[in-house]
């Protein structure tokens, strides 16, 4: 009998226990310095006029409270995805993230980059310092991922095999350089780049799934996909056969804590794709465990 979807956060442990998993690995979780997180929340508090939809933050609390919530739900490993939106910010964020991960053994050491002259030097330093995942936010950063100042950084990540979660889809609002076009050029230039398409490239799902089908190291995270909030459940049903074929390349992501729904609903949205328990086991644990070489 297929596993039942959780209907409350308190039922998430039952979900992964029934799948025979030791917990969950979520590749799209945000922890940032408090002043930066407050600015992110302020953006979502005021995003209604831009998107036509209010975006309440469900898990607004201190870092300690949010860490405890993840652990109570059985999220065993997660990054502290942070991102720069202006010069002279990324290296400072990388330092903060390294200290945060050193103090929290379940946090995957995280870093970011931004198009600026010293990008390659601090990317190399972050990799040397143990960063195991990067985040690049094309929409918020408002930069062209093809910027020559980023090229060495992409190359370093490709050579290191370190995954980079890239928000390049045009949701929730398009940016000057969002969409599949620029990313297609990055992948053509760096075909071994371990790119994880945040939100599966929402709303340009077809194109970003195409990248995962075409390139060995391209993966997709599930962040907010097929939820009631995004209203794309029907899209999920249409994409289900391709997602089944891409089973080894789909990773659980949620956008915790910056989500306008409860954590369990992301899992519920995946269960109702009806792709089977093996697919859920791969998405919720096995694929990320292999990517990060976890035992």
Which pLDDT belongs to residue 1? Answer: 77
Q: Which domain holds residue 73?
A: 19-291
CATH number, domain at 286? 3.20.20.140
Which position has the higher pLDDT, 245 or 48?
245
Number of domains the chain is built from: 1
Per residue in 82-136, pLDDT (tens digit) is 999 999 999 999 999 999 999 999 999 999 999 999 999 999 999 999 999 999 9
High-pLDDT (> 90) share of the chain, %: 95
DSSP collapsed to 3 states, 115-179: CCCCHHHHHHHHHHCCCCEEEEEHHHHCCCCCCHHHHHHHHHHHHHCCCEEEECCCCCCCCCCCC
Could you tell me the pLDDT band of residue 295, with boundaries at 50, 70 and 90? low
- pLDDT tens digits, one per residue of 160-182: 999 999 999 999 989 999 999 99
| pLDDT at res. 263 | 98
The verdict on residue 14 lying in a domain is no
Task: Answer yes or no: is pLDDT of 50 > 80.
Answer: no
Within a domain: 5: no
In a domain, 13, yes or no: no
- Would you say residue 12 lies in a domain? no
Contact present, 30 and 81 (Cβ < 8 Å):
yes
Assigned domain for 3 exists: no
Residue 23 lies in a domain: yes
Average pLDDT over residues 216-239: 97
Q: What is the pLDDT of residue 49?
A: 73
pLDDT for residue 241 is more than 90: yes
d(CA 160, CA 176): 29
Asked if the structure places residue 7 within a domain, the reply is no
Residue 4 within a domain: no
**75-79 and 110-112 as β-strands: parallel, antiparallel, unpaired?**
unpaired
| Overall size of the chain counted in residues | 295
Mean pLDDT of 37-52: 86
């Amino acid at each position: 009998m297929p596993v039942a979807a959780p209907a409350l956060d308190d039922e998430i442990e039952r979900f992964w226990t029934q799948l025979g998993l030791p917990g969950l690995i979520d590749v799209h979780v945000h922890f940032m310095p408090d002043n930066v997180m407050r600015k992110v929340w302020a953006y979502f508090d005021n995003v209604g006029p831009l998107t036509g939809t209010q975006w309440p933050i469900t898990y607004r609390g201190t870092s300690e409270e949010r860490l405890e919530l993840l652990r109570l739900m059985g999220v065993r490993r997660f990054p502290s995805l942070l991102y720069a939106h202006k010069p002279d910010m990324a290296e400072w964020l990388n330092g903060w993230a390294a200290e945060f991960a050193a103090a929290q053994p379940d946090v995957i050491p995280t870093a970011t980059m931004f198009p600026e002259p010293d990008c390659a030097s601090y990317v190399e330093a972050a990799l040397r310092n143990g960063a195991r995942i990067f985040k690049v936010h094309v929409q918020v950063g408002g930069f062209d991922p093809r910027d020559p100042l980023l090229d060495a950084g992409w190359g370093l990540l490709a050579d290191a095999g370190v995954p980079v979660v890239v928000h390049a889809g045009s949701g929730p609002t398009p940016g000057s350089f969002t969409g599949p076009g620029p990313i297609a050029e990055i992948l053509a230039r760096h075909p071994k780049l371990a790119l994880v398409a945040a939100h599966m490239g929402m709303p340009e799902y077809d194109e970003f799934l195409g990248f995962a089908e075409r390139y060995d190291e391209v993966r997709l995270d599930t962040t907010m996909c097929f939820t009631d909030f995004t209203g794309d459940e029907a899209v999920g049903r249409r994409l289900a056969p391709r997602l089944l074929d891409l089973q080894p390349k789909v990773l659980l992501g949620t956008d915790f804590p910056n989500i306008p729904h409860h954590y369990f609903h992301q899992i519920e949205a995946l269960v109702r794709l009806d792709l089977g328990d093996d697919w859920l086991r791969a998405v919720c644990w096995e694929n990320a465990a292999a990517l990060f070489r976890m035992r």
